[in-house]
Each structure stands twice: as C-alpha cells, then as structure tokens.
Chains A and B, each alone.
Chain A
Amino acid sequence: MTVSILRRAGHSLLVVILVSVTAVGLLSLAPGSVATVILGENATPAAVAAMNTELGLDQPLWRQYGNWLGRALGGDLGTSPLTGQDVTQAILDRLPVTLELSLLALTLSVSLAVLLAVLSAAAPGIWLDRVINAVSSAFLAVPAFIAGPVLIYLFALKAGWFPVSGWAHIEDGLGANLRSALLPALAVSLTEIASFHRLLRTDLIGTLREDYVAAARAKGMPRGYVMFRHALRPSSFSLVTLAGISLGRLIGGTVVVEILFGLPGLGQLVSASITARDVITVQGVVVFVAVTYVVVNMLVDISYGFLDPRVRKAARA
C-alpha cells in the first residue's frame, strides 16, 4: 500500500514539475516580450527593458525557472506588475467562492446522478429508464455557457426565485449564500450529471447481475436495500474517479459561470487579468489550478485502496 502510494506521489510530482515548467515557459511564448504585452505596443524600449529586468525575464530560461520555483515553494507566486497586488493573496481571497461553487456543483451532480442511475438501472429498458436516458443525453449537450443564460432567464428573470447575479457571502446568511450559488452550480452540473449517470448506470446493471446480488434477493431482502447496500458501493469506483477528475475540472471550469453571474472567484480573477494583460497573475492562477488538479486526482487514486478491499489486498500481497 505504502509503496503504491509513494509511486503514485512520485509520478504526480514529475507531472507537477512539467506543469510548472510549461507555465513559466508560457511567458516566453508572448509575441515580442511579456513586457510589451503588459505595457502595450507603444512602450518605450527603456521601459520595456526596465520591466524585463524587474520580472527577471532578461535571464536565461533555466535561471528564470529556478528563481520562480524557489519563490513558489515558499508560497510566493509573484506580484502583479499592474496592480502591485500579491498574486498568492489574490488567489486565496478568491478561492473560497470557487471552492464552494465547485463542491456544491459536485454534490448536486453526484446526488442527482446516483438517484437517476438507481432508478434507471433498476429496470433497464422500461419507459422510466428510456426517459431518464433521454434527459441524460440532452443534459450532455448543455454546456455551462448555454445552461447559465437559460437558467437565469427561467428562474431569475421570469420566476424571480433567484438573484440574476452577484454573490452573497456566508456571513450574510447561509440561505442568501445558497440562493446566489445554486443557479451557477446547477449550470455547470448538467453535463456532469449526464456523464455520472451514464457511467453509474452501466456499472450498476453489471453489478446487479452478480451472483451475490441474486443470493441477497433469494434470501428475501427488500429490493431497495439490496440496491443501496449491496450493489451501489461496488458499482461506484469508476464514479469516484470521474467525480475526482470532475472536481479538478470544476475548479478551473467555473470561469464561465463566474463571469456570467458576476461571482468574485478565481475565474473572474483570471478573466480580469487577461483583459488587463496581467500575465503574472494569469500564470499564478494557472499553476495553482493545475497543481490542485493533479493533487486531487492523486488523492482519488489513493482513495481507491480505502474504498475497494480488492485493491487494498492486491497492494498488500
């Protein structure tokens, strides 16, 4: 177990290094130089040179990376040359909103998907299964930038149940907070619900054909009990993987709804920095999100062992 966890962690570390090299190298992709990107086309050569020195861009790439890594390991992702704001602080300020949004979206997706998958796997092929499959296929074709405006139109503008935009912090009351988070979370959830449902339905149908399920039913156990206590857990391993991947994706993927609903999260920070051509902040957020993504996926892989006794045994042997 320990060996496999260490091996997995080593692999993740390699990936993180590659990711950070790419993110640092990103700056050298800019046409002209980053300084001209930040200062604009009309900057004087002297100003450009000064900016390059300030950002350390006049040094060779490997040294730039070394410097950057040294500071990043200490938690310093640089300072925005435009606003003078500390990038790490800016990220930490925005993180709670994005995190809450992602976790809420994930909770919504998993619970709805489990409900739908149980209903459709219970009797594959009957009308209920077909209706659920049709809805699920439709959800798969509704990305956040379509779901968002449509949800705003239906539930905020027409029905008036939710605010059109804006974020209520938890300090303002949990109810108001959830009301401002629900529509954006739902908007990013639809495609996740669909893919979770597809996966879990197939796995459940497979598990329900196992002998031990037949044995449980033959003993006279209620069908709902067999479904939830005997079939659901062994069917949920692929779902856990996918949910982990999806949490990582959501942390970077709530950009669209954050812009649409005007929520002060990481996505809005990135978007505002792009408009302002603040490449240093963009770089910081990209590294932060990518590393989070790698770490989450690693934790999901390791959690297999705790969820599935078969993996635990195999690792010990």
Chain B
Amino acid sequence: MNLSTSPPRPRSPFAAPILRPVRKRRPVLVGAAYAWLALVIALAVLAPWLPIAGYSVPAGASRLSPGPGSVDLLLGTDSFGRSLLSRCIHGARVSLLVGTGAGLAGLAAGTVLGLLGGYLRGRVDRLISLITDALLAFPPLILLIALSAVLTPSIEVILIGLTLVTVPNFVRLSRAQAISWSSREFVRAARNMGAGSARIMTREVLPNLLPALGSFLPVVVAALIVAEGSLSFLGLGVPPPRPSWGGMINEGKSALATSPHLVLVPATVIFLTVFSLNQVGDHLRLRFDRTL
C-alpha cells in the first residue's frame, strides 16, 4: 500500500502552517453553509407571518409522504396531520433561541471569568479553575437531565442548564487566551504608564480575546442545538404542543417502519444546520483564532 506521495521535508520556521491545504479549498461548502443558516434564521424569525399552516393544527391527512402540491404538504404531515414544514420552521425558533441564547450567555460569563483568572492569576485563578473543573466533571447530558428531573422542563430551565454546561468551555478558552495576551509588550507598557488592572483587562486584553472566543461560538451553538435535541428526544425538552426538532424525532420514531419521513425530515434539518454551523465555525476559527 502506498501510504505517502510527498517526501518528508524538514520543517523551517517559515514553513506554511500544517492546515493550509484544508483552509484553501472550502469556499463553496462554507458559502453553502452560510446560505443554509441564513435561510433557517430568516424562516425562523419570520415564522408567524409566513403563509404556512399553524404548527398545532392538522393541515391534511395523517402521515402523508413528502411531495409537491401545497406548501404545507411539501415535507409531508405527522401522525396528527400537522404540516412537517410548519413544525420544522417553528421548531427552528426553539433550537435557534436556545442555542444562541445559551451560547451568548455562556460566552459572556465564560469570557469574564476566564479573563479574571487568566489576568489576575493566584487565588482567584485557582478558585475559578476549580469550579470550572467541577462543572466539567459532570457529563453535560447528565447535568441537564438532573436539572430537568428536579425542575419542570421549560424554555427557561433549558436555557439555564445549557448555559451552565457552556460556561466552563469558554472559561478555559478565555483563560488560556488571557494568559497569552497578558504577557505581551503592550500590556506591560500600559501597566508601566500607570493603568489599573480593571482598565488593562477591559481596554487592552478583552478586545484581543473576542475574535477567538467569538469564532468559537458557532461550534458551541451547534453543540447546544444537539444538546437541546437530545433533551427533547428524551421528552425533557420544551413541553408540547410547541415543536422542537428533537421532539419531532421522538414523536416520529414509533412510526419508523411505515413512515420514515417523520424522523428523516427533522433529522435532515438538524444535520444540515449542525453541519453548517461547524463549517462556519471552522472557517471563522482558522481566520480569527491565533492559537490555531
């Protein structure tokens, strides 16, 4: 088996980064990813004003296969005859709201804590790291399940739970970045000119953290959408009749043998959305994260 075509070259300090080839050939896929996300976001935001059937009323016979005809029957109907297209679009509202809401909250809290720990070091850093490690010690799904078990599932509970599992990841990233930026000359210069810690953190270090942390956001949102989907799949998500993508798969799985589209339609929508978010995230990270 021919395992190699290129001869090994010694690495010079000026050699191209290892990931260069991957970086170059993505534009078409990344473009498609941006387009899909734009479509999903637009449909989700405009859902109440779109000329589609409501998500909780029958639009036709039950379990119709996808097919042309009317807009509402384009993706078929579920066991109650409700339009799958309408339910996917309204489900997008839940997924996107929960994903971006918890993602942004986690980003904000994680950035602040990581910045404090990474810049101040010492005791503050040790305390923050310990809490972070403890939070990371819970497998995320188990923590979410425990929360849903004790509290009644609702959008707020899910948002809080997902934020809780997101924060430690951002703390780690932000802390690592803060440590690396804090040792730079311009930070020392600011300190020598008499700037206080608070000013250096907000004016010198923080602006430099944001590109890397922000470009991490799409991947986190993708993970959160998956987490919300898993919760809904387990029946611990947003209470019905409000549709969510994971809940639709949960409802459809019993009819898998006869009407696979009940599962395949929402599964495809989640797949495309998560895939797109990952692509966009990789693209942004290669551009903005200087640790890569």
Q: Which residues of A contact B (CB under 8 A)?
A: 11, 14-16, 18-19, 22-23, 26-27, 29-31, 34, 37, 118, 122-126, 130, 133, 137-138, 140-146, 149-150, 152-153, 157, 202, 205-206, 208-211, 213-214, 217, 223-224, 227, 248-249, 251-253, 255-256, 259-260, 270-271, 273-274, 277, 279, 282-283, 285-286, 289-290, 293-294, 297
Shortest Cβ gap from B90 to chain A (Å): 19
Residues of B within 8 A of A205 (CB): 18
Closest Cβ neighbor of A147 among chain B residues: B267
Q: Give the segment of B51-59, B65-73, B175-183, B227-235 that binds chain A.
A: B227-235
Interface residue from A26, A133, A270, A283 paired with B22 (Cβ < 8 Å): A133
CA distance A144 to B271 in the complex (A): 11
Residues of B within 8 A of A202 (CB): 18-19
Interface size class of B (residues with CB under 8 A): 35 or more
Give me 8 other A-B pairs in contact (C-beta within 8 A), A15-B130, A30-B150, A249-B140 excluded.
Answer: A15-B133, A124-B21, A125-B21, A143-B230, A150-B264, A224-B3, A249-B139, A271-B145
Complex interface bits, B250-276 against A, C-beta within 8 A gives 1, otherwise 0: 101100110010011001001110110
Among all A-B residue pairs, the 3 with the closest Cβ atoms:
A252-B139, A18-B134, A141-B275
Q: Is B80 at the interface (CB under 8 A from chain A)?
A: no
Residues of B within 8 A of A252 (CB): 138-139, 141-142
Q: Is B226 at the interface (CB under 8 A from chain A)?
A: yes
B146 touching A23 by the CB < 8 A rule?
A: yes
A259 touching B8 by the CB < 8 A rule?
A: no
Residues of A within 8 A of B133 (CB): 11, 15
B139 touching A29 by the CB < 8 A rule?
A: no
A143 touching B137 by the CB < 8 A rule?
A: no
A149 touching B146 by the CB < 8 A rule?
A: no
Name the residue among A19, A27, A283 with the largest chain B CB count within 10 angstroms. A19
Interface residue from B148, B222, B257, B274 paired with A274 (Cβ < 8 Å): B148
Take A15-B134, A146-B267, A293-B137 as given contacts and tell me if A211 and B10 are in contact as well, using a CB distance cutoff of 8 Å: yes
Residues of B within 8 A of A118 (CB): 3
Residues of A within 8 A of B123 (CB): none
Shortest Cβ gap from B265 to chain A (Å): 12
CA distance A122 to B137 in the complex (A): 36
Q: Is B189 at the interface (CB under 8 A from chain A)?
A: no
Q: Is B198 at the interface (CB under 8 A from chain A)?
A: no
Residues of A within 8 A of B278 (CB): 137, 140-141
Closest Cβ neighbor of A214 among chain B residues: B8
B229 touching A145 by the CB < 8 A rule?
A: yes
Interface residue from B130, B134, B263 paired with A149 (Cβ < 8 Å): B263
Shortest Cβ gap from A314 to chain B (Å): 20
B271 touching A146 by the CB < 8 A rule?
A: yes
CA distance A245 to B210 in the complex (A): 27
Instruction: Report whether over half of chain B's contact residues are helix, strand or loop; otherwise say mixed.
Output: helix
Take A260-B253, A286-B146, A293-B138 as given contacts and tell me if A141 and B274 are in contact as well, using a CB distance cutoff of 8 Å: yes
CA distance A66 to B286 in the complex (A): 49
Residues of B within 8 A of A260 (CB): 253
CA distance A133 to B256 in the complex (A): 30
Q: Is B236 at the interface (CB under 8 A from chain A)?
A: yes
11 inter-chain pairs at a CB distance below 8 angstroms, sorted by A residue, are A11-B133, A124-B6, A138-B271, A141-B272, A141-B274, A144-B230, A157-B257, A210-B11, A227-B3, A286-B138, A286-B142
Residues of B within 8 A of A152 (CB): 256
A26 touching B271 by the CB < 8 A rule?
A: no
Shortest Cβ gap from A46 to chain B (Å): 23
Shortest Cβ gap from B146 to chain A (Å): 5
B22 touching A251 by the CB < 8 A rule?
A: no
Take A140-B278, A149-B253 as given contacts and tell me if A22 and B267 are in contact as well, using a CB distance cutoff of 8 Å: no
Shortest Cβ gap from B234 to chain A (Å): 6
A255 touching B138 by the CB < 8 A rule?
A: no
B142 touching A279 by the CB < 8 A rule?
A: no
B230 touching A157 by the CB < 8 A rule?
A: no
Take A118-B3, A260-B253, A270-B145 as given contacts and tell me if A253 and B226 are in contact as well, using a CB distance cutoff of 8 Å: no
Q: Is B202 at the interface (CB under 8 A from chain A)?
A: no
A157 touching B8 by the CB < 8 A rule?
A: no
Q: Is B291 at the interface (CB under 8 A from chain A)?
A: no
Interface residue from A125, A141, A251 paired with B271 (Cβ < 8 Å): A141
Interface residue from A122, A123, A210, A271 paired with B234 (Cβ < 8 Å): A271
Closest Cβ neighbor of A203 among chain B residues: B18
Complex interface bits, B1-43 against A, C-beta within 8 A gives 1, otherwise 0: 1111111111100000011011001000000000000000000
Residues of B within 8 A of A213 (CB): 8
Residues of A within 8 A of B146 (CB): 23, 26, 282-283, 286
Q: Is B151 at the interface (CB under 8 A from chain A)?
A: yes
B149 touching A290 by the CB < 8 A rule?
A: no
Interface residue from B1, B137, B250, B260 paired with A294 (Cβ < 8 Å): B137
